[in-house]
Amino acid sequence: MAAKKSFPLRINPDILAATQRWADDELRSVNAQIEFLLRDALIKAGRVKLVQQVTTLIEPTDGQTPASDEKKE
């Protein structure tokens, strides 16, 4: 993982407050929320490529196969 770099940011107080509320809703810090928003905007604008998509596979605990693996009849 690349090292993070500090960057001073001047931001409108209303935008910061709204970002703080959004971060709280998603259980992130304001810093992580700003980074998330910037990354998302860069990907949508085609400025950076999405290099890795994280997928979580949930294994059933009762020995059954996951619903996505069941055969449809």
Q: Is the pTM of this model over 0.75?
A: no
In single-letter form, the type of residue at position 68 comes to S
The total number of residues written for the chain in this structure: 73
Q: What pLDDT, on a 0 to 100 scale, did the predictor assign at position 60?
A: 72
Q: What pLDDT, on a 0 to 100 scale, did the predictor assign at position 2?
A: 72
Measured in whole angstroms, the distance separating CA 14 from the mean position of its chain's CA atoms is 23
Instruction: Compare 5 and 20 and report the one with higher pLDDT.
Output: 20
Residue 25 has pLDDT above 80, yes or no: yes
On the CB side of 16, CA atoms within 13 Å amount to 6
